[in-house]
């Protein structure tokens, strides 16, 4: 079974696509919000949460174990594992080491769909890993953000700009790469005319064809 990374521009709802892919393949899905939930439970020492709520066979157990194996970072950088990109440190090598440790541990133990956090670069050399970028025209993204968050057009544009700028800077600083460069992905999917179900189906359909007919290069 595969390891799939999904990165989407804000307003493309890559999280919905990732969740649907995981459902279709019957594998785990993880994003920063799920990691945040696990981390919050782990910060409650009065409860034996690891044994009662996070058995190793579950996704939460896998995340808890991955966090436990990561290098110690201190609270501020630890929080960066699940904070919005515009709130994380951009100049701390310890943060990157911990992030890489968590992502690689999650990908090593079982098939999974991982949203964002540079996972497409952290796992770029993992055999069989599939990396997808979800894009859409700005006007489409604005419309979706306005509908989803009940925002005025100007506010939606500001949210998109803040997210895009933070994501580009994060990838540039930590991975010396261009976030939207198509060569970093196995598939770049424009969801202008696609809903999340159709987009997920296209990615799932492409998985068996990964590296087909090649000696190990990307399609």
Q: What is the pLDDT of residue 191?
A: 94
For residues 128 and 149, give the distance between their C-alpha atoms in angstroms, rounded to a whole number. Answer: 36
Q: What is the pLDDT of residue 173?
A: 86
Q: What is the pLDDT of residue 101?
A: 82
Q: What is the pLDDT of residue 21?
A: 94
- 211 domain residue, yes or no: no
DSSP secondary structure, 151-194, as one string: --HHHHHHHHHHHHHHHHHHHHHHH-S-TT-GGG-SEEEE-TT-
Q: What is the pLDDT of residue 46?
A: 47
Q: Rounded to two decimals, what is the model's pTM?
A: 0.79
- 215 domain residue, yes or no: no
List the chain residues with pLDDT less than 70.
1, 37-57, 59-62, 67-94, 211-219
Percent of the chain with pLDDT over 70: 71
- 210 domain residue, yes or no: no
What's the burial of 173, exposed, middle or buried (CB within 10 Å: 0-12/13-18/19+)?
A: middle
For the chain, the helix, strand and coil percentages under 3-state DSSP, each to the nearest 5: 55, 10, 35
- 74 domain residue, yes or no: yes
Q: What is the pLDDT of residue 20?
A: 95
Q: What is the pLDDT of residue 28?
A: 86
- 64 domain residue, yes or no: yes
Count of domains forming the chain: 1
Q: What is the pLDDT of residue 198?
A: 95
Give, in order, the Cα–Cα distances in Å from 19 to each of 4, 60, 200, 209.
Answer: 11, 16, 9, 21
CATH of the domain at 105: 3.40.50.300
For 178, the domain range is 3-205
Sheet containing 112-115, strands listed edge to edge, beginning at the edge strand earlier in sequence: 28-30, 112-115, 3-8, 130-135, 187-190
Q: What is the pLDDT of residue 133?
A: 96
Q: What is the pLDDT of residue 123?
A: 92
136: closest CA among 107, 160, 167? 160
């Amino acid at each position: 079974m595969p390891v799939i990374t999904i990165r989407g521009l804000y307003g493309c709802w890559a999280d919905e696509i990732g969740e649907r892919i995981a459902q279709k393949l019957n594998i785990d899905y993880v994003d920063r919000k799920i990691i945040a939930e696990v981390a919050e439970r782990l910060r409650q020492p009065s409860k034996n949460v690891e044994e009662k709520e996070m058995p190793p066979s579950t996704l939460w157990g896998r995340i808890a174990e991955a966090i436990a194996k990561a290098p110690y970072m201190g609270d501020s950088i630890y929080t960066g594992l699940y904070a919005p990109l515009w709130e994380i440190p951009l100049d701390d090598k310890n943060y990157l080491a911990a992030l890489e440790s968590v992502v690689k541990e999650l990908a090593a133990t079982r098939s999974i769909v991982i949203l964002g956090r540079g996972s497409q670069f952290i796992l770029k050399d993992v055999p069989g890993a599939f990396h997808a970028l979800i894009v859409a025209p700005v006007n489409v993204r604005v419309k979706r953000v306005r509908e989803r968050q009940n925002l005025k057009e100007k506010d939606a544009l500001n949210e998109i700009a803040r997210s895009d700028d933070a994501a580009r800077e994060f990838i540039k600083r930590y991975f010396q790469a261009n976030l939207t460069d198509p060569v970093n992905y196995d598939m770049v999917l424009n969801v202008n005319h696609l809903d999340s179900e159709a987009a997920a189906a296209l990615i799932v359909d492409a998985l068996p064809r990964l590296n087909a007919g090649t000696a190990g290069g990307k399609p």
